[in-house]
Every structure is written in C-alpha cells, then in structure tokens.
Amino acid sequence: MANALLLTVLVDQHWFGLVLVGSQVALVCSVLALLVIWWFEWRNGRVW
Amino acid sequence: MPADAAPFLAPGIAWALVVLFSVLWIALGIVWGRRGKGDADDYMLAGRNIGLALSTATLMASWVTGNTTLLAPEFGYRTGLWGMFSYALAGLGLILFAPLAVRIKQLMPHGRTSGDFIRLRYGRLAWWVFMVITAVYTLGFLMTQAMGAGLLLQALSGFDYHVGMVVVIGVATVYTLFGGMRAVIGTDFIQSLLIMVLLAVVAVLAFRQFPMPEVHARLISAHPDRLDLLLPAGLLIAWNSALFSMGEVFHNNIWWSRVFASRRSVVMTSFVLGGLAWMSVPLVTGSIGLVALARDLPLEQVNMVFPVMAADLLGAGGAALVFVVVFASLTSTLDSLLASTADLLAEDVYFRLLRPQASDAQLKQAARQMVVGLSVLTLALSWPRLDSLASVLFFTGALVASTVWPVACGLYWSSANRWAAIVAMAAGSAVGLSAYVLIAPYCAAVFSAAVSAVVMVVGSRWQPEGFDFNRLQEGV
C-alpha cells in the first residue's frame, strides 16, 4: 500500500483544467489555422 | 448497446442527415474530379501539387477514424488521463514521418506508392513480404471501418447493421470512383473542419453543463487512479500506441500517396501540423469519457460513452452532432483507404507486375476498377457481424511495427541490407504476434519494432549493401 502511494502522482485541479482547456483551444486553433492557410492559398491560386 | 435498444437519434432525422451529406460529398467529388488533366497521375495523386491547407486537412481527416471519436472516450473512461494521452500519442506517427516525407519527395519526385520504394530499394522478395503485411493491415482497417459504420449507425439511429454499412461504403466509393484523389482530398478538407468544429461545440457545451472543477473533485474522490500520471498500464499503452502509429504511417500507402500528391515545399509542415491538430481530437473526445465517469453514467456498452454523454447532456441536438461527426470520420477514412489501396494495387500489381506495357488510360481504368473491387470485398468480409473490432486492429500492430526500421533505414542509410530488411519484417512480425498472444495485445507493437530494429542494424552492419539512391529516381 505504501509503495503504491509512493508511485502515485495525481493531477491537481489546476493542471487538470489546463489539459482540458488546452485541448479545446488547440482544436479551435487548428480550425482557424486551416481556414487562414486555405484563404491565403486561395487568394494566390495555390490551393491545388 | 443491444441491437433492440432505443436509438439516440430519430431515424427520420438520421436519414435526412445521411442524404444531405451524401449528396454534398458526391457532388463535390464529381466536380473536383473534373479538374486537372484527367490522366492517371491526376486521378491517383491529384496532380502532385496540392497546397498546405488541403495537405494538412487530408492527413488529419484520414487519421480521424470512427475509433478516434468512439474508442478515445472509452480510453478516457477506462484509463483516465493516460488513456487520453496514449491515444493522442498516435499523432506522433504523422509528426515523426515528416522528415521522411521530405526525403521521399526528394528521392522519388515521380514515385507513386510505398510499394514502388520497397521494390526499388530492397528488391522483389522484400516487396512480397511488405505487400502481405500491408494487405493484412489494410483489409483489417477497411473491415473495422465498415463494421464500425454498421454498428455505429445502428446504435446512433436504429439503422439496420447492413444498411448503415452499405450506405457509408457506397457513398465513399461513388465519390472516390468518379473524382479520384482530388475528390478524396477535397472532401477531407470539409470533413476535417466539420469534425473539429462539432467536437469543439460538444465539448464546450458539455463542460458548461458539468464544470471542470466538479469533474475533478468527483474523480479524485471516486476514481483517483484515473488521474494518476504514473499509472503503469497507461505508460505501456502509450508506448504501444506511439509505435503502432509509426508502423501504420511509415508503411501505408495512405500517407505515401499524400507525400506524392503534395507540393514539395509543404510536405514537412503539413505532416507536423496534421499530427498536432489530430492530437487535440482524442484529448477532447477522451475528456468527454472523464465527464461520463465523474457523473457515474450507467453504460451498457462502454464504447458508446461519447454518444450517450452527448445525448444525455445536449438532447437530440447533441445526438445529431455526434451522428455527423461519426459519419464524416468514417467516410473520410474509408475514401482515403479505398483510393490509396487502389493506387497501390493498380501501380504495383497491375502495372509493375502484370502489365508493364499498359497505357496511362489503362492504368487509370485499373485504379477505378480496384476502388470498386475493394469496396465489394470489404462489404463481403464485413457482412457477418464480428465482435471485438479493436482486437482485429491491435493484431495488425504486430505486423506494421516491423516495417518502421526497414522503411526509415532504407531512406537514409545506403548500407541498409535487403536481406536484413526481409528478416526484420518477418522476425518482427513473428515476435510481435507471439507477444500479442502470450503477453498482452498492447505489447505487440513494442516487441515487433524492437526485434525489427536489432535485425536491421546488425544485418546491415554485418553485410553493408552500398545502395545508390539515384536508382530510386531512375526506377519510376
């Protein structure tokens, strides 16, 4: 039991929130980045 | 969920969504397929000049499978944070392939398939071993997506298993057949945006209803192991996930065809961006699994945790969002698999092996026939309902991980020996499969890659080959 507790690192609320919010922000940023890149390439005729 | 349980979405709404998106994908596929010169290169590789936006989106969409939207929440539910992290580490396959992609484009500017590379680099016998591995993997992958389509559409909307499967495969086949790689890549762009936007909406709405501090507090009190960063099983699964994904990406023609189809200047960036963007998907869907765990939601089948949560928190609207995400995920993966595998068979088997004198038009026609043939074969193999889709896919991890080192060494190391490559793939597969049976499924890829690496390095040091890389350019 003592060994099991020694080998346990629980994520606290701060880091838990950071992981979850960070992943959602990354998802939204990916969408925006794709749209911006597509827009620039479309203006320059470089999509295909 | 049992087959007779109530669906999350009314069948009428589900059919309306299926018709709407099917018509959209097919119409766009046909329109995009009319662009370009209309030769075999255009059909198989979209003209070899696609830009960063489409290249990144097609990598991302092809890598988001039905599993990413349903298995990742299950991983989060069962294993907690490490379940999410380990699934997300599969994105490493794309990121680590980025420098190799640049090297491939440099060495084989006119290449068409991964089979081209293995045949020219290591000879015909190595090509046969490689083709057996890629055939087993691709058929397993196609079957899991087809069966997943039948099972998911049945669970989400009450469709008959066979009807759901035929609809998804049929739609992907029609636009791939008429539009080729242009249709696949163009629809992938829209599908990837759709998947990411809808997932973000579901996640934000879910956490508004059930805030993060509350989720954390419930997990700490009832399931602290799910928040443990040193969970031994989690660490092992993470290693296996990373190596499995490397095997999948390094050998499969889905990713090689994207390298050949992309403009040289965007290859590196698109693989890195595609991998990073993809990683956020299993993290977000996995976090939905954590919410379900914190709420102690009763689940009859754990792999349905994502639709159950969406329907529970967001009602019929949530179920409709999940339905669209799943439909887009399945079609975007199936179209890529059909197109790139058809290209592999047309180029490597029909053209290089059976009819080297075939004209450009005949090669294009062969690729189209392969698309239809693969669809029919997939439907036939998936018609009987099999259980345990994940085990089918895990099984192939032992095989594909054995190709990582032969591919990587073959691209950079002139001493890499063809016999070492053959033995590395065969021995790695054999040891990986033994580990799968004797130890645990999630050890298979680790053992396979380790044995393959040792054989490749020792064999090539013992008898260096001295390969001239110019032969790769001259041979295609």
- What's residue B298's pLDDT? 75
CA neighbours within 13 Å on the CB side: how many for B192? 33
Hey, are the CB atoms on B280 and A30 less than 8 Å from each other? Answer: yes
pLDDT value for B2 = 45
Bridge-partner residues for B228, per DSSP? A10
Retrieve residue B20's tokens.
């709407």
Query: What span, in angstroms and rounded, lies between the C-alpha atoms of B158 and B274?
Result: 34
Token reading at B153: 């559409």
Say if the Cβ atoms of B227 and A47 lie within 8 Å: no
ipTM beyond cut 0.95: no
Element (H, E) at B460: helix B444-462
Residue B397 has a pLDDT of: 83
Q: What is the pLDDT along chain B (476 residues), one digit of tens a residue?
A: 444 456 778 888 889 999 999 999 999 988 988 887 888 889 999 989 999 999 999 999 888 887 787 788 888 888 888 888 888 988 999 999 999 999 999 999 989 999 999 999 999 999 999 999 999 989 888 888 888 888 888 878 888 889 999 999 999 999 999 999 999 999 999 989 988 998 888 888 888 888 888 888 988 888 888 888 877 777 777 777 888 888 889 989 999 999 999 999 999 999 999 999 999 999 999 998 888 888 887 777 777 788 888 888 778 888 888 888 888 889 988 999 999 999 999 999 999 999 999 999 999 999 999 999 999 999 998 888 765 566 666 778 889 999 999 999 999 999 999 999 999 999 999 999 999 889 887 788 889 999 999 999 999 999 999 899 999 886 66
CA B305 to chain centre: 21
* Closest-CA residue of chain A to B208: A21
Q: Is B468 exposed, middle or buried (0-12, 13-18, 19+ CB in 10 A)?
A: exposed
B74 in Cβ contact with B86 (< 8 Å)? no
- Residue A2: pLDDT band (50, 70, 90) is very low
Closest to B250 in 3D by CA, of B348, B145, B114:
B114
Select the residue from A25, A34, A38 to test the B interface by mutation, using most B Cβ atoms within 10 A.
Answer: A34
Is residue A20 scored above 70 in pLDDT?
yes
Query: Cα distance from A5 to chain B (closest Cα, Å)?
Result: 10
Residues near B292 by beta carbon (within 8 Å), at least 6 away in sequence = B73, B77, B299, B305, B308, B309
Buried-exposed string B433-443: b where 16+ CB fall within 10 A, e elsewhere: bbbbeeeebbb
With CA atoms as reference, the chain B residue closest to A41 would be: B51
Left, alpha or beta for B388 (phi > 0: left; psi -120 to 50: alpha)? left
The reported pLDDT for the residue numbered B387 is 57
Q: Which residues contact B471 (CB under 8 A, 6 or more apart)?
A: B120
Number of helices followed by number of strands (H, E) in chain B? 20, 0
pLDDT for position B414: 94
CB B259 within 8 A of CB B104: yes
Of A13, A24, A46, the CB nearest to B216: A13
Q: Does A18 touch chain B (CB under 8 A)?
A: no
Structure token digits, residue B239: 């290693």
Q: What residues have CB less than 8 Å from B245, skipping those under 6 apart?
A: B89, B90, B91, B92, B93, B94
| Angstrom distance (rounded) from CA A19 to CA B287 | 9
Report how many Cβ contacts below 8 Å link chain A to chain B.
Answer: 105
- From chain A, pick out residues whose CB is under 8 angstroms from the CB of B193: 31, 34-35
pLDDT at B96: 93
A9 Cα to chain B: minimum distance (Å):
5
pTM for the predicted model, two decimal places: 0.90
* Whether A20 contacts chain B with CB within 8 A: yes
How far is Cα B168 from Cα B18, in angstroms, rounded to an integer?
9
CB under 8 Å to B451, separation ≥6 — which residues?
Answer: B402, B424, B427, B428, B431, B432
- Cβ–Cβ of A47/B54 closer than 8 Å? yes
Contact B385, B150 (CB under 8 A): yes
**Angstrom distance (rounded) from CA B284 to CA B288:** 7
Cβ contact B449:B92 at 8 Å: no
d(CA B179, CA B46): 9
Chain B CB contacts of A11 under 8 Å are 81, 227, 229
Residue range A11-33: mean pLDDT, rounded? 90
